């Protein structure tokens, strides 16, 4: 009896366009990804959408994954893709909801609170631009530690870098943001 293919083997076949390998990869990983994402988001519909987008990313980007001595963990790679997709989806949803509330208030003629004015300014003002100007490495650390609320150790695992690197990148990101916002 032949042992089942490894995740890296399946991804190599997926990269070559093998639908059966993709289906096997999906069956192997979809359930645990759904469970992990539901711990972060109670909206089953959004989680299902994120899982589908994650596996679509796998289909399109399997060739980018290279199982080597530095990144042999396919499940970790899949989790990074899925968690980033979830954060993006939550950010879009929250942004639309908050902006919709503000617009409704403006249309009704009532004045938005000071907090709402600040939040609207943060969303469309200097902070979002400053975050966008961070390098991808610094932005990923800010996203993991600030937006996702992960500890340094958790962010290190998620990003596949040492904890000390997470700390130094977070410090550099804070310095750059401080310089741009003052």
Q: pLDDT tens digits, residue range 86-103?
A: 888 877 776 555 555 545
Q: pLDDT tens digits, residue range 167-176?
A: 999 999 989 8
Report how far residue 51's alpha carbon sits from residue 101's, in angstroms, rounded to the nearest whole number.
Answer: 28
CATH topology of domain 1-110: Rna Polymerase Sigma Factor; Chain: A (1.10.1740)
Question: How close are the terminal C-alpha atoms of the chain, in Å?
Answer: 66
Where along the chain do its domains lie?
1-110, 125-182
Residue 124 has a pLDDT of 45
Residues in the chain: 182
CATH number for the domain running over 125-182: 1.10.10.10
Residue 157 has a pLDDT of 78
Reported as a pLDDT band with limits 50, 70 and 90, residue 75 is confident
- Of the candidates 95, 122, 102, which has an alpha carbon nearest to the alpha carbon of residue 177? 122
How many other CB atoms are found less than 10 A from the CB of residue 138? 21
Residue 104 has a pLDDT of 58
Rounded mean pLDDT of 95-118? 55
H, E, C per residue of the chain: CCCCCCHHHHHHHHHCCCHHHHHHHHHHHHHHHHHHHHHHCCCHHHHHHHHHHHHHHHHHHHHHCCCCCCCCCHHHHHHHHHHHHHHHHHHHHHHHHHHHHHHHHHHHCCCCCHHHHHHHHHHHCHHHHHHHHCCHHHHHHHHHHHHCCCCHHHHHHHHCCCHHHHHHHHHHHHHHHHHHHC
């Amino acid at each position: 009896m032949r042992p089942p293919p490894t995740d890296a083997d399946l991804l190599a076949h997926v990269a070559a366009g093998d639908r059966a390998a993709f289906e096997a990869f999906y069956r192997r990983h979809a359930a645990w990804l759904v469970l992990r994402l539901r711990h972060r988001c109670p909206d089953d519909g959004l989680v299902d959408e994120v899982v589908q987008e994650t596996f679509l990313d796998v289909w399109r980007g399997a060739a980018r994954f290279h199982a080597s001595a530095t990144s042999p963990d396919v499940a970790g790679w899949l989790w990074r893709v899925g968690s980033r997709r979830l954060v993006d989806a939550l950010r879009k949803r929250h942004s639309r909801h908050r902006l919709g509330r503000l617009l409704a208030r403006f249309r009704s003629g009532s004045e938005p609170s000071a907090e709402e004015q600040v939040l609207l300014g943060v969303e469309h003002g200097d902070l979002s631009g400053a975050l966008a100007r961070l390098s991808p490495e610094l932005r990923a650390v800010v996203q993991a530690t600030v937006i996702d609320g992960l500890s340094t150790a958790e962010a290190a695992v998620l990003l596949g870098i040492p904890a000390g690197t997470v700390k130094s990148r977070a410090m550099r990101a804070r310095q750059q943001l401080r310089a741009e916002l003052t």
